[in-house]
Amino acid sequence: MGKTMQKMKIWNFLDEEKIKRGEVLPIEVEAQVDNGATLVVLPKDAAEKLNLPVARKTWVRYANEKREQKDVVRGLVIEILGRSTICEAIVEPERKTALVGQFVLEVLDLWIDSKNGKLIPNPESPDMPLLDEI
């Protein structure tokens, strides 16, 4: 079982109207999708291109148990398979590809099809996300 990669479009929420008018284009990036990760992680250059504001700092724990403090940016719009959401992202200066974690997968109601190595919409809601409300 290898990594699941997925193309996605990203932009700054503050550019939403400019994007609708065609004055600004979203950035298309390749992202690793991992339901073992929690949040979204962006390479520093992508966060800078989008001019996303740093909202705060947070501690990050890596798989090797190493911990570091990282910037968290706010106002990132992510569109995957025609579904979009606004979220925060952790900024990683050394990272080359984006990482999409469980929070975004839940909100967009997307599943990792590990057998075929791809991301798919929930078969019970192929047209739009279906969220459970308790």
pLDDT of residue 2: 67
- pLDDT 10s per residue in the chain (134 long)? 568 999 999 999 999 999 999 999 999 999 999 988 999 999 999 999 999 999 999 999 888 999 999 999 999 999 999 999 999 999 999 999 999 999 999 999 999 998 888 999 988 888 888 777 77
Beta strands in 1-134 (DSSP E): 4-12, 27-33, 40-43, 54-61, 67-80, 83-92, 98-100, 110-113, 118-121
- At residue 61, what are phi and psi to the nearest 5 degrees? -110, 125
Select from 106, 102, 34, 87 the least CA-distant residue to 63.
Answer: 34
| Residue ranges per structural domain of the chain | 4-121
CATH of domain 4-121: 2.40.70.10
How do strand 83-92 and strand 40-43 relate by DSSP bridges?
parallel
Residue that the structure tokens 């719009």 belong to: 77
